[in-house]
Amino acid sequence: MPLQENYFTSFKESIDSYDLPELFTFPFCYQPHPLCLLAAKELQRHLETQQEWQHNFGITGNKETAIGKMFGVLLVQNKHNEIGYLSAFSGKIAGRNDLEKFVPPVFDVLAEDGFFLAGQLEINQINEQIKSLEKNPQILQFEMSLKSEIESSILQIKEHKERMVEGRKIRKSQRIMAEIELNANAFLALKEQLSKESVNEKIQLRDLKIYWNERVHKAQENLNQLTAEITSLKNQRKDLSASLQQKLFAQYRFLNVKGITKNLCDIFIATPQLTPPAGAGECAAPKLLQYAFKWGMKPLAMAEFWWGASPKSAIRRHLNFYAACQGKCQPILEHMLEGINMDENPLLKNPAEGKTIDTVYEDDSMLVINKPAEFLSVPGKQVEDSVYLRIKQGYPRATGPLIVHRLDMSTSGLMLIALSGEVHKNLQKQFIKRTVKKRYVALLDGLLKEDEGIIDLPLRVDLDDRPRQLVCYEHGKPAKTHWQVIERKNAQTKVYFYPITGRTHQLRVHSAHIKGLNTPILGDDLYGNKASRLHLHAEYLEFNHPVTGELMRFQIEAEF
């Protein structure tokens, strides 16, 4: 079989009853085409039954060492006008990137005779040298000596400064008493003596600083002499790593339907990050398209699904389909898909079109509104229509930022609007001090065993896939949620959420994450499965009126 046919897979069952897609998949927001669903099922059966390699996806193996993976299928028409599909996975599986049935990587970093492994070997050798040198016991001794000198210098200088402060107090007291008790000549003589004491103390402080600076400098020099080779090796490692990375980026060359090739450096130079992120080009989608273009196959539709346990930080659910990531894949795919007729980008559509905002309460200083689901709080990058714009148009005399707090576009419910800058400042202060009481109601896609609890998982944005959020104990901001079950029905659980903090997507991540409730909110297209809507509603709001101080309470029942 010719090389280009090795990875083309014909469907096992007849596809005569299926309609072919008219347009290619918009990869950043899509519903899988039926033929992609069929291809994915066939690929999943292969993953379940193959015996040629072993990888712990976490489906049946040890969850602690599990590594789930993203897989992709690309529906294609080959040169013989046959309809089939290509398969790919992101990164490596079982330590390999060349498994049978899956298209090869765009560039094989694992090639035994390649420059990358040779470069990695050189870097690893430097790492071993550094580790060996760092074991020198004298380094620890010199580090302790330097630390001791610094601490002693700080202590002695601090003690001298304290004596100077006390000396100033004593001299001031002496001057006051001398002015009363001594004659003019004696008073002047005493003033001169006290002035000399003050000057002497300052000279002593200067000399003390010089003395300790010399000692600390000497201790630092001793340490530097011992670690100079380590520093030199680290700089060498840094330069080698940067050079190797740039050389690697240049090897990742991506085709498009027009036959134009660009490497990673060419592609990312036009992006805000300027340089490619680690792992760029190793995802399933670019691999699939590269192979199709290289061997003259026509891409028809694409879908990517997760197989295995979720990562510890991001939320990925076994068998769920996911859009291509924004950080690594978007710039690459924009080049690769140039010239291909695609489905319309749904993110360009105005989700608020035809919807109205209900006013729950209104006075001269503020509004309480009920925001519909799929309605932006503030203007987005592609869509300007939002709560902010509607209020601005409806209340042209209003001043200040207007929006006191936000709800996710997909979340419905109560929002506060300030009609002046002063009122906005007052209401925001209540949110910052956490005196505002909020309650959300949500319908979860599954049954919870417990009845109540607190979720404490710090969050930060996924830099490679905005606006998704990650659980991150190193860089994440604290995020806490109190939850309480209302009812269990039809394999779903209705809950109250009381957010203690207010992070982006907090309730959605805390619901879906394995360390949270491990049960996504029904209709969550980012962290669960898409449905008619996101079943999350800001039901209750309690705060003090920004002008009168009166306690205000509002409640709007959810539509679900």
Which CATH number belongs to the domain containing residue 537 in this structure? 3.30.2350.10
Are 331 and 366 in a shared domain? no
**307 falls within a domain:** yes
Which stretches of 273-420 are DSSP H helices?
A: 284-294, 330-336, 387-394
> Quick one: which of 550, 558, 549, 553 has its CA closest to 541?
553
Are 172 and 154 in a shared domain? yes
Are 438 and 514 in a shared domain? yes
Are 415 and 295 in a shared domain? no
Residue 190's Cβ-count burial label (10 Å; 0-12, 13-18, 19+) is middle
Are 361 and 478 in a shared domain? yes
Are 315 and 375 in a shared domain? no
Are 376 and 453 in a shared domain? yes
Q: Is omega for the bond preceding 467 within 30 degrees of 0, making it cis?
A: yes
pLDDT at residue 204 in the model: 96
Statement: the pTM of the whole predicted model exceeds 0.75: yes
Q: Given a cut of 80, is residue 328 above it in pLDDT?
A: yes
Dump pLDDT digits (tens) for 254-298: 999 999 999 999 999 988 888 999 899 999 999 999 999 999 999
Dump pLDDT digits (tens) for 447-467: 999 999 999 999 999 988 889
Number of domains in the chain: 3
Question: Is 16 known to be catalytic?
Answer: no
Q: Given a cut of 80, is residue 34 above it in pLDDT?
A: yes
Boundary-marking domain end, from 248, 264, 279: 248
Boundary-marking domain end, from 218, 248, 278: 248
**119 falls within a domain:** no
Amino acid residing at 410: S
Q: Which domain holds residue 482?
A: 349-555
Q: Given a cut of 50, is residue 1 above it in pLDDT?
A: no
Are 388 and 416 in a shared domain? yes
pLDDT at residue 2 in the model: 42
**126 falls within a domain:** no
Are 35 and 64 in a shared domain? yes
Which stretch of DSSP H or E encloses residue 203?
Answer: helix 184-251
Reduced to 3 states, what is the DSSP secondary structure of residue 435?
A: coil
Are 60 and 195 in a shared domain? no
**266 falls within a domain:** yes
pLDDT at residue 494 in the model: 98
Compute how many other C-beta atoms are within 10 angstroms of the C-beta atom of residue 419: 21
Dump pLDDT digits (tens) for 184-237: 999 999 999 999 999 999 999 999 999 999 999 999 999 999 999 999 999 999
354: number of CA atoms within 13 Å, CB side? Answer: 2
> Quick one: which of 486, 365, 349 has its CA closest to 409?
349
Are 508 and 410 in a shared domain? yes
Are 397 and 546 in a shared domain? yes
Boundary-marking domain end, from 203, 219, 248: 248
User: Which one of 108, 408, 464, 524 is the catalytic residue?
Assistant: 408
**560 falls within a domain:** no
